[in-house]
Chain A
Amino acid sequence: MGTPVTLVKDSPLDTRKTRSAAPAALKRRGRRENLAGYLFMSPWIAGFVLLTAGPMVASLYFAFTDYNLFNTPKWVGLDNFTRMFDDPRWQKSVEVTAKYVVIGTPLKLLLALGVALLLAQSRRGQAFYRAAFYAPSLIGASVSVAFVWRSIFSDDAIVDRTMSVFGIHVGGWVGNPDWILYCLVALTVWQFGAPMVIFLAGLKQVPKELHEAAAMDGAGAFRRFWNITLPMISPVLFFNVLLETIHSFQIFASAYVVSNTYCGPADATLVYTCYLYQQGFKNAQMGYASAMAWMLLLAVALVTAVLFWSQKKWVHYEEDAR
């Protein structure tokens, strides 16, 4: 063993506090640590500047300009933003996205929670079921599955025929402007496996003794779920709601593939990002598309803020679990 070792302090604050009194060797070590830190981080820093922060600034600038990729951007002030509110297709895209998020996300989470509760009981074959239910979450994002979805929901295909048995005649969902959005909702609900796995992880943390004690006191299954399980998994529920909502806002590929390349019929699946794509990359309206992107960011930020604000009221963090 060579030179005596100066151990690194626990937090950056600690090193700062001791720095003034520290001997030169320690100071040198601190500087070396800084250098090493920044060297290791250099890919991320370059990526952050070049691909995140820089583009964000540029995007904000484009949002106030008229820009078609070939001319120099022309400053137009708030025109792009006022234009949105006069644009019926923009309004339609907001409506379609809102419907998709509001219907799809709760259904998906309900199913995820329901199946997680089922799988949380220790039974044989648990691991198999867990894996099988998770599979759609991975393959569901592919174009292949979107194609399959289209086919299953076509006129006279299985879903249509099954519903006819119950006297409901829709015809092909994908060709029907009133129904095609529900086809996309079904596709997202089908991918309930990802939140389910997170729910399962949360359910495992609920102490069995609490349930047993409550059962002793005569609490039924529903009461125990409502008063014990739900509060105990509320941090996990919050996490799932947040993640699924943000994801749903950004749906693109399935709308593009399941409907048709212009997100019809009759703009029925014109989700927000699909309209953004059309304006930006089909019509070369880079300024307008950037303004739309910022409105999306605002919406996501607003929903995130509301969720974080509301968590004080319904999310319970256990002191000892933290």
Chain B
Amino acid sequence: MSTTTTTVRRPLGGPGRRRAGSLAWHLGALLVLAVVLYPVLWVIGASFKPSKDIINSLQLFPVHPILDNFKGLAKGIADIAIWTFFQNSLLYAVGAVVGILISCSLTAYAFARIRFAGRNLLFSLMIGTLLLPYHVLLIPQYVMFQKMQLINTYVPLLLGKYLATEAFFVFLMVQFMRSLPKELDEAARIDGCGHLRTYWSIVLPLCRPALITSAIFTFINAWNDFMGPLIYLNDPGKYTVSLGMMMFRDSDGVAANYGGMIAMSLVALLPVLLFFLAFQRYLIDGMATSGLKG
């Protein structure tokens, strides 16, 4: 095939064609986007509808929006103020963030910046735990915490976070710390810094993007966590938001109070949505470089 004929085929075309292509692209992208974001818009609209209209009404947004659902929420559920669930979730999420930031960054520093015997073996073990299904550990951990009489406390939910068991974050931070130039440590060494000092004053400040990514993911994961609280918490006063929401339905899954349930869903989503809007750049870049899962 000769090159003269193929140059004509280059996908550039005239300016008119380019604009048409761009229009088609945006139409396609917006169509997919409409389907993808529909459930989010739906929950916003539904939370302002009367209970009887939530399922059957075809309107995305109500013609006469009402606030009854949110007013109902303020009364709480089963004698527990909604705020209690939020307080518990907040305690869990903030506790988890602090734990992950401290323990994972210390571990990552050791893997990335200290040459010690057995490092490679331990690193492979750490990576290996990434693929291990959590369910294998679930029952023995439950038995252990039960024997230690720690059921119905936040210790089983938080302990792992303070002991760097979430290998994803260790891995993310190791990757980041490895990208920092070695000369930094050497200069610090010359100035008389020990490892602790180097870690705290040099490496940590430079790792801020990785730390922020880990913190946001940890917060959102803890906020969304369902299985952990389901297994370890049984006093409704200690329930997190995820568990508290389950109180809106009976065991058949039928909601006793649709309006309250949807309003609660929206309110429970708000922290995650706000975090996402504020930090989406960090989240998406962190995701792309490390394969972290939300």
Contacts and interface: CB of A to CB of B under 8 A. Distances in A.
Contacts of A276: 135, 138
A84 B231 CA distance: 23
A246 B134 CA distance: 11
Given A37-B116, A123-B29, A134-B280, 12 more contacts: A58-B144, A62-B143, A139-B40, A147-B245, A161-B58, A217-B1, A218-B1, A239-B291, A256-B230, A257-B253, A258-B253, A276-B138
Given A37-B110, A41-B107, A44-B103, A201 B135 contact: no
A125 B22 CA distance: 11
B139 A293 contact: yes
Size bracket, chain B contacts: 35 or more
B245 A143 contact: yes
Q: Do most interface residues of chain A lie in helix, strand or loop, or is the interface mixed?
A: helix
Interface in B65-91: none
Contact of B293 (A7, A243, A249): A243
Contacts of B273: 135, 139
B134 A48 contact: no
Contacts of B284: 130-131, 134, 197
B139 A290 contact: yes
Interface in A126-154: 129-145, 147-152, 154
A216 B139 CA distance: 60
Contacts of A129: 29, 33
Q: Do most interface residues of chain B lie in helix, strand or loop, or is the interface mixed?
A: helix
A148 B192 contact: no
B106 A115 contact: no
Looking at B129, B241, B266, the one whose CB has the most chain A CB atoms below 10 A away is B129
Contact of A55 (B116, B141, B221): B141
A143 B291 contact: no
Contacts of B25: 118, 121, 123
A143 B242 contact: yes
A69 interface: yes
